[in-house]
Chains A and B, each alone.
Chain A
Amino acid sequence: DAGVTQSPTHLIKTRGQQVTLRCSPKSGHDTVSWYQQALGQGPQFIFQYYEEEERQRGNFPDRFSGHQFPNYSSELNVNALLLGDSALYLCASSFRLGYTFGSGTRLTVV
C-alpha cells in the first residue's frame, strides 16, 4: 500500500519563476493538506483540499495556490518566487482521523 508520494524531491528555481509541486495521497485518503517547513522551524499550514475545493487556508499570500483532482491527488503552485520561499514543502493526506506525510519537496530559490 503506497503511502503519500510527492514529486519532485528536489527543485532549484530562480526568483520570479513559478513552480508546481505534486502529491498523490495514501490509498483511501480523500483530504490533502500542504505545509511549508523552513529550516529549523516546524511545518506551517498552507491550505487543505477536500472534494476538489480549498476548505481551509493558512496565513500565506495569494501567490500560493492549489488544486485537487478527482482522484484526490493535488498540486501546489507558487508564483513569483521569493528567496524566502526556499523550504521543504510537505504534503499530508488524511481520511477523518490522523495525517500521513510524504517525504516532501525541497525547493531552493536562487
Chain B
Amino acid sequence: EDKVVQSPLSLVVHEGDTVTLNCSYEVTNFRSLLWYKQEKKAPTFLFMLTSSGIEKKSGRLSSILDKKELFSILNITATQTGDSAIYLCAVEGRYGGSQGNLIFGKGTKLSVKP
C-alpha cells in the first residue's frame, strides 16, 4: 500500500531558528513529490521535486529529494512567526501517461514563537 510519512508531527521553535521537516515515502510509479503550506484551509504550493539531488530554493525555504532512499526534506532558515502552519508532503503517482492522485502525509504542524 502506498504511504507517505512525515516527521515530526509537530514542532515548536523560536523566531530565528532553522528547522528541517522530513518526508519519507513508499509509492509505486512515483512521478513527483510536492510540498504545501496550509495555514487555514487551502494548501498553497511550495515546491515540486522530480529529480534526486537538485535543491530547490525559494527565499528562506529549500527542499531536496533523494529517490534512492525515498525521502525529502524541507528546510526553513531564520524562521518567522508567519511560518507557523501545517506543512504537507504529497507524492504524485502515475496513471498511465497522465497525472496520478496525490498521497499525503499527516503533515507537520510548525509553531514559531516570538
Contact = CB atoms under 8 A, between A and B. Distances in A.
Interface residues of B, number: 25
Given A42-B90, A42-B105, A43-B90, 16 more contacts: A35-B104, A42-B106, A43-B43, A45-B102, A50-B98, A55-B95, A58-B101, A88-B41, A90-B42, A90-B43, A98-B45, A98-B48, A99-B45, A101-B44, A102-B42, A104-B41
Interface residues of A, number: 29
A104 B48 CA distance: 22
Contacts of B41: 88, 90, 103-104, 106
Q: Choose among A92, A101, A103, A106 the residue with the greatest number of B CB atoms under 10 Å from its CB.
A: A101
Interface of A: 4, 31, 33, 35, 40-45, 48, 50, 55-56, 58, 88, 90, 92, 94, 96-104, 106
B97 to A, nearest CB: 10
Given A56-B100, A98-B48, A103 B105 contact: no
A50 B97 CA distance: 13
18 contacts: A35-B104, A42-B4, A42-B107, A43-B88, A43-B102, A48-B99, A48-B101, A50-B98, A55-B95, A55-B98, A56-B101, A58-B101, A94-B99, A96-B99, A98-B45, A99-B45, A104-B41, A104-B42
Contact of B88 (A42, A48, A103): A42
A74 to B, nearest CB: 15
A108 B46 CA distance: 29
Contacts of A97: 48, 99
A101 to B, nearest CB: 5
Nearest to A31: B99
Nearest to B103: A45
Which of B41, B101, B103 counts the most A-chain CB atoms under 10 A from its CB? B101
Interface string B39-82: 01111110010000000000000000000000000000000000
Contacts of B30: none
Contacts of B43: 43, 90, 101
Nearest to A91: B42
Contacts of B98: 50, 55
